[in-house]
């Protein structure tokens, strides 16, 4: 479009302001993690690395991090399996209720988290409790997997759609059985889609707090739950701030990986 010079400058200014709006709060958390003042009086007068040392030694934070990693890995594994299965079924077959299946997969993430949370809590109470299985890490993994399925489903479905049927037919014509076709033709094409969706699913699970609140058993604390429960304790503030700073810095890792995996920059739609 033939925009006037001033219009271009206005748009450039809007972009710069928008980016500042997005990044300044995060930068201030990073800066505050070195602020020697306990209450984060602004502007900082003295600097320290004491909070980083204390956060490193904090057993609660470490344990919560480990719980989060376990929950994320478990949920990702289940979501990869279930999401791929549904994607194959919807892509390859025409069956009654096909449209409903896609809607069903999207539902857990489309409804407010609190609704999914209460629903799963009710299910655990009425189904698992009579069997003698209490809520624990397992129920967190089940809850997270439920809303992670959609990520895998979307990615795999899109990739299968682009793949088309020709390669499979060629493979069958050359004498491969179904398993060989999957092992040597379909899976290699899907691999990057699976990696990208695994990354997204893990990210979703790692960041989730609402569903976790309702599905975690007593004593099971993921990192977000740990942060939230310590957020309102003034003497924990510096340690929380360091953990927050670490998470901000760590968010570069999945972006880097997504860029490596996918050819486009759309590595993370959700």
Partner 1 sequence: MLGRSADAAGADTARGPVRRLSAWLHRHAGVRLAALLAAPLFWLVVAYLGALAVLFVSALWTVNGFTGEVVRQPTLVNFRTIAADEVYRTVALRSVGVAAAVTVIDTLIALPMAFYMAKVARPRYRRWLVVAILTPLWASYLVKAYAWRVLLANGGPVDWLLGGPGSGPGYGLTATVLVLAYLWLPYMILPVYAGLERLPDSLLEASADLGARAGRTFRKVVLPVIVPSLIAGSIFTFSLSLGDYITVQIVGGKTQLIGNLVYANIGAANNLPFAAALATIPVLIMVVYLVAVRRSGALEEL
Sole binder of partner 1 in the list 107, 137, 158, 163 (CB under 8 A): 107
Q: Does 228 bind partner 1 (CB under 8 A)?
A: yes
In this structure, what token pair is assigned to residue 84? 């791929």
- Stretch of 106-114, 129-137, 162-170, 186-194 contacting partner 1, by CB under 8 A: 106-114
Q: Does 254 bind partner 1 (CB under 8 A)?
A: yes
CB of 49 to partner 1, least distance (A): 19
Residue from 80, 105, 193, 211 binding partner 1 (CB under 8 A) = 105
Classify the phi-psi angles of 97: left when phi > 0, otherwise alpha if psi is within -120 to 50, otherwise beta: left
The yes or no reply on residue 136 touching partner 1 (CB under 8 A) is no
Closer of 139 and 193 to partner 1 (Cβ)? 139
User: Are the CB atoms for 20 and 221 separated by under 8 Å?
Assistant: no
Q: Which is nearer to partner 1, 29 or 73 (CB)?
A: 29
Token pair belonging to 252: 């570069």
Residue 110 makes contact with partner 1 by CB under 8 A? yes
Q: Which two tokens stand for residue 211?
A: 């569903």
Residues 15-34 contacting partner 1, CB under 8 A: 15, 18-19, 21-23, 25-26, 28-29, 32
Footprint of partner 1 on 41-80 (CB under 8 A): 41-43
Interatomic CA distance for residues 37 and 234, integer angstroms: 12
Nearer to partner 1, 1 or 59 (CB): 1
95-134 CB burial, b ≥16 within 10 A, e <16? eeeeeeebeebeebbeeebeebbebbbeebeeebeeeeee
- Of 162, 257, 166, nearest in space to 203 by CA: 257
Q: What is the DSSP letter of 130?
A: G
Assess 96 for contact with partner 1 (CB under 8 A). no
Q: Is residue 163 at the binding interface for partner 1, with CB under 8 A as the rule?
A: no
* Residue 104 lies near partner 1 (rule: CB under 8 A): yes
Question: What is the CA 222 to chain-centroid distance, rounded?
Answer: 14
Contact pick of 130, 162, 179, 235 for partner 1 (by CB under 8 A): 179
Decide: helix, strand or coil at residue 35.
strand
Q: Which stretch binds partner 1 (CB under 8 A): 14-22, 52-60, 162-170, 189-197?
A: 14-22
Report in angstroms the alpha-carbon separations of 264 from 139, 199, 268. Answer: 35, 15, 10
Local structure of 161: helix, strand or coil? helix
What's the closest the beta carbon of residue 57 comes to partner 1, in angstroms?
A: 21
Under rule CB under 8 A, residue 210 binds partner 1:
yes
Using the rule CB under 8 A, which residue among 5, 46, 59, 95 binds partner 1?
95
């Amino acid at each position: 479009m033939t925009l006037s010079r001033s219009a271009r400058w206005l748009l450039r200014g809007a972009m710069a302001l928008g980016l500042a709006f997005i990044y300044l709060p995060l930068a201030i958390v990073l800066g505050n993690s070195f602020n020697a003042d306990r209450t984060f009086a602004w502007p900082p007068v003295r600097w320290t690395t004491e909070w980083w040392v204390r956060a490193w030694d904090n057993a609660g934070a470490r344990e919560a991090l480990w719980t989060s990693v376990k929950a994320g890995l478990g949920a990702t594994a289940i979501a990869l399996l279930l999401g791929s299965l549904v994607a194959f079924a919807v892509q390859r077959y025409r069956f009654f209720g096909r449209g409903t299946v896609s809607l069903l997969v999207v539902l857990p993430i489309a409804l407010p988290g609190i609704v999914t949370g209460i629903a799963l809590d009710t299910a655990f109470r009425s189904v698992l409790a009579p069997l003698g299985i209490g809520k624990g890490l397992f129920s967190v993994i089940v809850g997270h997997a439920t809303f992670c399925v959609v990520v895998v489903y979307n990615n795999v479905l899109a990739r299968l759609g682009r793949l088309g049927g020709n390669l499979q037919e060629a493979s069958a014509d050359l004498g491969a059985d179904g398993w060989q076709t999957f092992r040597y033709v379909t899976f290699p094409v899907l691999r990057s889609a699976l990696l990208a969706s695994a990354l997204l699913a893990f990210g979703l699970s790692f960041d989730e707090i609402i569903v976790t609140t309702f599905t975690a058993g007593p004593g099971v604390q993921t990192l977000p739950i740990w942060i939230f429960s310590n957020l309102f304790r003034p003497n924990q503030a510096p340690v929380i701030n360091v953990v927050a700073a670490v998470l901000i810095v760590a968010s570069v890792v999945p972006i880097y990986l997504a860029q490596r995996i996918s050819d486009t920059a759309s590595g993370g739609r959700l």
